[in-house]
Amino acid sequence: MRATVRDIAAETGLSIATVSRVLNGQANVAPHTRELVLQAVGRLGDQAPRPRAAPEPVTAGAIYVRCPYLLTDYFGLIVSSVGETIELHGRQMILSTGEAAQRAPALPGLPGRSDVAGAILVLPPEPGDELVRLRDRRFPFVVIDPRTPPPRDIVAVSAAHFAGARKVMAHVAGLGHRRVGVIGGPVHWLPSEARLAGYTASLAAVGVLPSAELLRHVPEPNTENGYRAACELLDLPERPTALVAFNDKMAVGALWAAAERGLRVPGDLSVAGFDDIDLSEATLPRLTTVRQPLQEMGRMAVTLLMRLLGRHTLEALHVSLETQLIVRDSTGPVPL
Protein backbone atom coordinates (compact mmCIF):
# COMPACT_ATOMS: atom_id res chain seq x y z
CA MET A 1 0.00 0.00 0.00
CA ARG A 2 1.40 3.40 -0.97
CA ALA A 3 1.30 6.19 1.60
CA THR A 4 -0.67 9.36 0.91
CA VAL A 5 -0.30 13.03 1.71
CA ARG A 6 -2.74 12.42 4.56
CA ASP A 7 -0.42 9.73 6.00
CA ILE A 8 2.54 12.13 5.95
CA ALA A 9 0.44 14.82 7.60
CA ALA A 10 -0.48 12.38 10.37
CA GLU A 11 3.17 11.33 10.71
CA THR A 12 4.41 14.91 11.11
CA GLY A 13 1.46 16.60 12.81
CA LEU A 14 1.28 19.14 9.97
CA SER A 15 -1.70 20.04 7.86
CA ILE A 16 -2.40 18.35 4.54
CA ALA A 17 -2.04 21.71 2.80
CA THR A 18 1.44 22.24 4.29
CA VAL A 19 2.59 18.78 3.29
CA SER A 20 1.28 19.37 -0.24
CA ARG A 21 3.21 22.63 -0.50
CA VAL A 22 6.44 20.83 0.43
CA LEU A 23 5.85 17.97 -2.01
CA ASN A 24 5.02 20.44 -4.78
CA GLY A 25 8.23 22.40 -4.17
CA GLN A 26 6.52 25.65 -3.21
CA ALA A 27 8.70 28.27 -1.56
CA ASN A 28 6.32 29.48 1.17
CA VAL A 29 7.36 26.81 3.67
CA ALA A 30 9.70 27.23 6.64
CA PRO A 31 12.99 25.25 6.32
CA HIS A 32 12.28 23.33 9.54
CA THR A 33 8.83 22.34 8.30
CA ARG A 34 10.21 21.24 4.94
CA GLU A 35 12.80 19.09 6.70
CA LEU A 36 10.10 17.45 8.87
CA VAL A 37 8.18 16.42 5.76
CA LEU A 38 11.29 15.14 3.95
CA GLN A 39 12.29 13.11 7.00
CA ALA A 40 8.83 11.53 7.10
CA VAL A 41 9.11 10.71 3.40
CA GLY A 42 12.45 9.06 4.10
CA ARG A 43 11.01 6.96 6.92
CA LEU A 44 8.14 5.77 4.76
CA GLY A 45 10.62 4.80 2.03
CA ASP A 46 9.31 3.67 -1.34
CA GLN A 47 5.71 3.80 -0.10
CA ALA A 48 5.82 7.59 0.25
CA PRO A 49 4.78 10.03 -2.48
CA ARG A 50 7.80 11.61 -4.08
CA PRO A 51 8.43 15.36 -4.02
CA ARG A 52 7.42 16.59 -7.49
CA ALA A 53 9.55 19.61 -8.10
CA ALA A 54 13.18 19.29 -9.06
CA PRO A 55 15.72 22.04 -8.41
CA GLU A 56 17.30 24.02 -11.18
CA PRO A 57 20.12 22.27 -13.05
CA VAL A 58 23.44 22.47 -11.24
CA THR A 59 26.00 24.20 -13.42
CA ALA A 60 28.89 24.70 -11.01
CA GLY A 61 30.43 23.26 -7.88
CA ALA A 62 32.90 20.62 -6.78
CA ILE A 63 32.28 16.88 -6.46
CA TYR A 64 32.37 15.61 -2.90
CA VAL A 65 34.00 12.17 -2.71
CA ARG A 66 33.45 10.26 0.51
CA CYS A 67 35.59 7.15 1.07
CA PRO A 68 35.78 6.66 4.85
CA TYR A 69 38.56 4.07 4.70
CA LEU A 70 42.33 4.00 4.32
CA LEU A 71 43.27 4.56 0.69
CA THR A 72 45.11 1.29 0.26
CA ASP A 73 45.35 -0.58 -3.03
CA TYR A 74 41.61 -1.38 -3.25
CA PHE A 75 40.10 1.97 -2.31
CA GLY A 76 43.07 3.88 -3.70
CA LEU A 77 42.44 2.53 -7.19
CA ILE A 78 38.79 3.53 -7.04
CA VAL A 79 39.39 7.02 -5.67
CA SER A 80 42.26 7.78 -8.05
CA SER A 81 40.12 6.91 -11.06
CA VAL A 82 37.26 9.00 -9.64
CA GLY A 83 39.60 11.98 -9.24
CA GLU A 84 41.05 11.65 -12.73
CA THR A 85 37.60 11.46 -14.31
CA ILE A 86 36.29 14.42 -12.30
CA GLU A 87 39.22 16.48 -13.56
CA LEU A 88 38.45 15.47 -17.15
CA HIS A 89 34.98 16.98 -16.64
CA GLY A 90 36.51 20.25 -15.48
CA ARG A 91 35.37 19.86 -11.87
CA GLN A 92 37.23 19.99 -8.58
CA MET A 93 37.16 17.18 -6.03
CA ILE A 94 36.59 17.53 -2.30
CA LEU A 95 37.88 14.33 -0.69
CA SER A 96 36.79 12.96 2.68
CA THR A 97 38.73 9.84 3.54
CA GLY A 98 40.24 7.86 6.39
CA GLU A 99 38.52 5.69 8.98
CA ALA A 100 37.89 8.71 11.24
CA ALA A 101 35.48 9.98 8.57
CA GLN A 102 33.12 7.09 9.43
CA ARG A 103 32.22 8.91 12.65
CA ALA A 104 31.48 12.22 10.94
CA PRO A 105 27.80 12.76 9.97
CA ALA A 106 28.65 14.03 6.50
CA LEU A 107 25.54 13.29 4.44
CA PRO A 108 22.88 15.54 6.06
CA GLY A 109 24.89 18.69 5.41
CA LEU A 110 25.66 18.06 1.74
CA PRO A 111 22.48 19.58 0.21
CA GLY A 112 23.14 22.86 2.02
CA ARG A 113 26.68 23.31 0.71
CA SER A 114 26.88 25.91 -2.04
CA ASP A 115 30.35 24.72 -3.06
CA VAL A 116 29.25 21.13 -3.76
CA ALA A 117 27.33 20.07 -6.86
CA GLY A 118 27.08 16.33 -6.20
CA ALA A 119 28.78 13.42 -4.46
CA ILE A 120 30.40 10.03 -4.99
CA LEU A 121 29.95 7.75 -1.97
CA VAL A 122 32.30 4.74 -1.81
CA LEU A 123 31.00 1.80 0.25
CA PRO A 124 29.02 4.19 2.45
CA PRO A 125 28.67 2.99 6.07
CA GLU A 126 25.45 4.97 6.52
CA PRO A 127 22.19 2.97 6.66
CA GLY A 128 19.95 2.95 3.62
CA ASP A 129 17.40 5.33 5.11
CA GLU A 130 20.04 8.08 5.24
CA LEU A 131 20.68 7.61 1.53
CA VAL A 132 16.93 7.77 0.91
CA ARG A 133 16.69 11.08 2.80
CA LEU A 134 19.56 12.46 0.74
CA ARG A 135 17.80 11.32 -2.44
CA ASP A 136 14.52 12.90 -1.37
CA ARG A 137 16.26 16.25 -0.91
CA ARG A 138 17.12 16.03 -4.61
CA PHE A 139 20.86 16.01 -4.03
CA PRO A 140 22.70 14.25 -6.89
CA PHE A 141 24.95 11.37 -5.80
CA VAL A 142 26.18 7.96 -6.92
CA VAL A 143 27.15 5.03 -4.70
CA ILE A 144 30.15 2.84 -5.54
CA ASP A 145 30.10 -0.71 -4.16
CA PRO A 146 27.05 -0.34 -1.89
CA ARG A 147 27.24 -2.09 1.46
CA THR A 148 23.51 -2.96 1.42
CA PRO A 149 21.05 -3.36 -1.48
CA PRO A 150 20.57 0.17 -2.86
CA PRO A 151 17.03 1.56 -2.54
CA ARG A 152 15.02 2.32 -5.63
CA ASP A 153 15.98 5.50 -7.51
CA ILE A 154 19.49 5.57 -6.03
CA VAL A 155 22.24 5.23 -8.63
CA ALA A 156 24.86 2.61 -7.77
CA VAL A 157 27.87 0.99 -9.45
CA SER A 158 29.37 -2.31 -8.35
CA ALA A 159 31.10 -5.41 -9.64
CA ALA A 160 29.23 -8.60 -10.49
CA HIS A 161 29.99 -10.26 -7.15
CA PHE A 162 27.75 -13.29 -7.63
CA ALA A 163 29.09 -14.10 -11.09
CA GLY A 164 32.71 -13.62 -10.02
CA ALA A 165 32.34 -15.89 -7.00
CA ARG A 166 30.61 -18.52 -9.09
CA LYS A 167 33.49 -18.48 -11.59
CA VAL A 168 36.23 -18.97 -9.02
CA MET A 169 34.36 -21.71 -7.16
CA ALA A 170 33.56 -23.47 -10.44
CA HIS A 171 37.31 -23.41 -11.16
CA VAL A 172 38.10 -24.93 -7.75
CA ALA A 173 35.36 -27.55 -8.08
CA GLY A 174 36.59 -28.35 -11.58
CA LEU A 175 39.95 -29.30 -10.04
CA GLY A 176 38.13 -31.95 -8.01
CA HIS A 177 37.76 -30.13 -4.70
CA ARG A 178 34.58 -30.93 -2.80
CA ARG A 179 35.54 -30.04 0.77
CA VAL A 180 36.08 -26.30 0.33
CA GLY A 181 36.44 -23.84 3.20
CA VAL A 182 34.91 -20.40 2.60
CA ILE A 183 36.30 -17.36 4.42
CA GLY A 184 33.50 -14.84 3.97
CA GLY A 185 33.32 -11.10 4.54
CA PRO A 186 31.25 -9.20 7.11
CA VAL A 187 27.75 -10.54 7.64
CA HIS A 188 24.93 -8.56 5.99
CA TRP A 189 27.25 -6.84 3.50
CA LEU A 190 25.78 -7.00 0.01
CA PRO A 191 29.11 -8.18 -1.52
CA SER A 192 29.43 -10.87 1.17
CA GLU A 193 25.95 -12.23 0.55
CA ALA A 194 26.31 -12.12 -3.24
CA ARG A 195 29.69 -13.86 -3.22
CA LEU A 196 28.55 -16.53 -0.79
CA ALA A 197 25.57 -17.19 -3.06
CA GLY A 198 27.94 -17.54 -6.03
CA TYR A 199 30.21 -19.97 -4.16
CA THR A 200 27.20 -22.03 -3.08
CA ALA A 201 25.77 -22.14 -6.60
CA SER A 202 28.93 -23.65 -8.08
CA LEU A 203 29.27 -26.22 -5.30
CA ALA A 204 25.62 -27.18 -5.70
CA ALA A 205 26.27 -27.75 -9.41
CA VAL A 206 28.66 -30.59 -8.48
CA GLY A 207 26.37 -31.99 -5.79
CA VAL A 208 27.90 -30.37 -2.69
CA LEU A 209 25.54 -28.87 -0.12
CA PRO A 210 26.57 -25.86 2.01
CA SER A 211 28.25 -26.78 5.31
CA ALA A 212 28.27 -24.41 8.27
CA GLU A 213 31.40 -26.18 9.52
CA LEU A 214 33.33 -24.94 6.48
CA LEU A 215 32.14 -21.31 6.58
CA ARG A 216 33.71 -18.47 8.54
CA HIS A 217 32.65 -14.81 8.48
CA VAL A 218 34.97 -12.02 9.64
CA PRO A 219 34.08 -8.54 10.95
CA GLU A 220 36.74 -6.84 8.82
CA PRO A 221 38.16 -8.39 5.61
CA ASN A 222 41.88 -8.02 6.32
CA THR A 223 44.91 -10.31 6.38
CA GLU A 224 44.86 -10.95 10.14
CA ASN A 225 41.22 -12.04 10.15
CA GLY A 226 41.82 -14.20 7.10
CA TYR A 227 44.69 -15.87 8.94
CA ARG A 228 42.58 -16.56 12.03
CA ALA A 229 39.67 -17.95 10.01
CA ALA A 230 42.01 -20.15 7.96
CA CYS A 231 43.61 -21.50 11.16
CA GLU A 232 40.19 -22.58 12.42
CA LEU A 233 39.34 -24.30 9.14
CA LEU A 234 42.72 -26.01 8.73
CA ASP A 235 42.60 -27.32 12.31
CA LEU A 236 39.31 -29.16 11.77
CA PRO A 237 39.54 -32.95 12.23
CA GLU A 238 38.91 -33.25 8.49
CA ARG A 239 40.48 -30.16 7.00
CA PRO A 240 39.35 -28.68 3.67
CA THR A 241 41.40 -29.30 0.55
CA ALA A 242 40.81 -25.74 -0.69
CA LEU A 243 40.13 -22.32 0.82
CA VAL A 244 38.28 -19.57 -1.03
CA ALA A 245 38.55 -16.14 0.60
CA PHE A 246 36.38 -13.01 0.39
CA ASN A 247 39.34 -10.96 -0.87
CA ASP A 248 43.04 -11.23 -1.67
CA LYS A 249 44.17 -9.92 1.72
CA MET A 250 42.29 -12.70 3.49
CA ALA A 251 43.72 -15.21 1.02
CA VAL A 252 47.22 -14.06 2.00
CA GLY A 253 46.27 -14.76 5.62
CA ALA A 254 45.24 -18.25 4.51
CA LEU A 255 48.68 -18.71 2.91
CA TRP A 256 50.29 -17.80 6.25
CA ALA A 257 48.16 -20.36 8.08
CA ALA A 258 49.03 -23.04 5.52
CA ALA A 259 52.77 -22.32 5.77
CA GLU A 260 52.65 -22.58 9.58
CA ARG A 261 51.20 -26.06 9.24
CA GLY A 262 53.70 -27.19 6.65
CA LEU A 263 51.07 -27.43 3.92
CA ARG A 264 52.21 -26.96 0.35
CA VAL A 265 50.13 -24.65 -1.85
CA PRO A 266 48.73 -25.92 -4.17
CA GLY A 267 50.07 -29.46 -3.59
CA ASP A 268 48.28 -29.99 -0.27
CA LEU A 269 45.89 -27.05 -0.26
CA SER A 270 44.48 -24.74 -2.94
CA VAL A 271 43.83 -21.08 -2.05
CA ALA A 272 41.90 -18.44 -4.04
CA GLY A 273 41.06 -14.80 -3.41
CA PHE A 274 39.00 -11.98 -4.91
CA ASP A 275 39.80 -8.45 -6.22
CA ASP A 276 43.14 -8.99 -8.06
CA ILE A 277 44.97 -6.21 -6.24
CA ASP A 278 48.76 -5.94 -6.63
CA LEU A 279 49.24 -8.13 -3.57
CA SER A 280 47.86 -11.14 -5.45
CA GLU A 281 50.96 -11.22 -7.69
CA ALA A 282 53.42 -10.59 -4.85
CA THR A 283 52.76 -13.86 -3.03
CA LEU A 284 54.48 -17.20 -3.46
CA PRO A 285 52.67 -18.88 -5.07
CA ARG A 286 50.82 -16.14 -6.91
CA LEU A 287 47.11 -16.06 -6.12
CA THR A 288 44.27 -17.30 -8.25
CA THR A 289 41.66 -14.57 -7.89
CA VAL A 290 38.79 -12.64 -9.45
CA ARG A 291 39.57 -9.30 -11.04
CA GLN A 292 37.18 -6.50 -10.19
CA PRO A 293 37.15 -3.52 -12.59
CA LEU A 294 37.92 -1.09 -9.75
CA GLN A 295 39.07 1.81 -11.91
CA GLU A 296 36.18 1.40 -14.32
CA MET A 297 33.81 1.48 -11.35
CA GLY A 298 35.20 4.91 -10.46
CA ARG A 299 35.00 6.20 -14.02
CA MET A 300 31.46 4.90 -14.49
CA ALA A 301 30.29 6.48 -11.24
CA VAL A 302 31.54 9.93 -12.28
CA THR A 303 29.98 9.57 -15.73
CA LEU A 304 26.61 8.71 -14.19
CA LEU A 305 26.88 11.61 -11.76
CA MET A 306 27.57 14.05 -14.57
CA ARG A 307 24.42 12.83 -16.30
CA LEU A 308 22.48 13.41 -13.08
CA LEU A 309 23.89 16.93 -12.86
CA GLY A 310 22.73 17.54 -16.42
CA ARG A 311 19.23 16.32 -15.47
CA HIS A 312 19.41 13.44 -17.93
CA THR A 313 17.10 10.48 -17.45
CA LEU A 314 18.93 7.35 -16.32
CA GLU A 315 17.29 4.05 -17.15
CA ALA A 316 20.09 1.87 -15.72
CA LEU A 317 20.26 2.90 -12.06
CA HIS A 318 22.09 -0.14 -10.67
CA VAL A 319 25.11 -0.87 -12.87
CA SER A 320 26.98 -4.14 -12.33
CA LEU A 321 30.33 -4.51 -14.11
CA GLU A 322 31.71 -7.84 -15.28
CA THR A 323 34.46 -9.60 -13.32
CA GLN A 324 37.19 -11.88 -14.68
CA LEU A 325 38.67 -15.08 -13.30
CA ILE A 326 42.47 -14.92 -13.09
CA VAL A 327 44.01 -18.38 -12.70
CA ARG A 328 47.53 -18.39 -11.23
CA ASP A 329 49.64 -20.79 -9.20
CA SER A 330 47.78 -21.12 -5.88
CA THR A 331 45.14 -23.58 -7.12
CA GLY A 332 45.68 -27.12 -8.29
CA PRO A 333 44.08 -30.58 -8.42
CA VAL A 334 42.67 -32.06 -5.24
CA PRO A 335 45.33 -34.12 -3.39
CA LEU A 336 45.03 -37.87 -3.92
Q: 36 is in which domain, residue-wise?
A: 5-47
* Of 227 and 26, more confident: 227
- Provide the pLDDT for residue 301: 96
* CATH code for the domain of 281: 3.40.50.2300
Enter the pTM of the model.
0.78
* Chain centre to alpha carbon of residue 291: 15
Residues 173, 286: one domain?
yes
Q: How far apart are alpha carbons 8 and 46 in whole angstroms?
A: 13
Q: How far apart are alpha carbons 14 and 3 in whole angstroms?
A: 15
Query: Which of 49, 51, 50 lies closest to 2, judged by CA?
Result: 49
Collapsing DSSP states into helix, strand and coil, what is residue 321?
A: strand
Q: What's the rounded mean pLDDT across residues 265-292?
A: 95
* Domain membership flag for residue 99: yes
Residues 253, 166: one domain?
yes
* Of 5 and 276, more confident: 276
With the CA atoms of 168, 170, 174 and 180 taken in that order, what torsion angle do they form, in degrees rounded to the nearest 10?
A: 80
* Domain membership flag for residue 326: no
Residues 137, 172: one domain?
no
Q: How far apart are alpha carbons 140 and 108 in whole angstroms?
A: 13
Residues 116, 34: one domain?
no
What size, in residues, is the chain?
Answer: 336
* Of 36 and 111, more confident: 111
* Domain membership flag for residue 52: no
Number of domains in the chain: 3
Q: How far apart are alpha carbons 299 and 286 in whole angstroms?
A: 28
Whether 147 shows a pLDDT value over 80: the answer reads: yes
Whether 64 shows a pLDDT value over 70: the answer reads: yes
Q: How far apart are alpha carbons 324 and 221 in whole angstroms?
A: 21
- Provide the pLDDT for residue 52: 56
Residues 152, 186: one domain?
no
Residues 120, 180: one domain?
no
* Chain centre to alpha carbon of residue 332: 30
Contacts 24+ apart (CB under 8 A), 5-12: 5/49, 7/44, 8/37, 8/40, 8/41, 8/44, 8/48, 8/49, 11/40, 11/43, 11/44, 12/36, 12/37, 12/40
Residues 112, 190: one domain?
no
* Domain membership flag for residue 331: no
Instruction: Give the pairing type, strands 116-122 and 62-67.
Output: parallel
Residues 194, 228: one domain?
yes
* Domain membership flag for residue 333: no
Residues 252, 285: one domain?
yes
* CATH code for the domain of 22: 1.10.260.40
* Domain membership flag for residue 287: yes
Residues 153, 228: one domain?
no
Q: What's the rounded mean pLDDT across residues 265-270?
A: 97
Q: How far apart are alpha carbons 257 and 213 in whole angstroms?
A: 18
* Chain centre to alpha carbon of residue 135: 18
Q: Are 44 and 80 in contact (CB under 8 A)?
A: no
Residues 83, 24: one domain?
no
* Domain membership flag for residue 329: no
- Provide the pLDDT for residue 312: 79
Residues 270, 307: one domain?
no
- Provide the pLDDT for residue 104: 77
Q: What's the rounded mean pLDDT across residues 55-83?
A: 84
* Domain membership flag for residue 147: yes
With the CA atoms of 100, 275, 247 and 99 taken in that order, what torsion angle do they form, in degrees rounded to the nearest 10?
A: 0
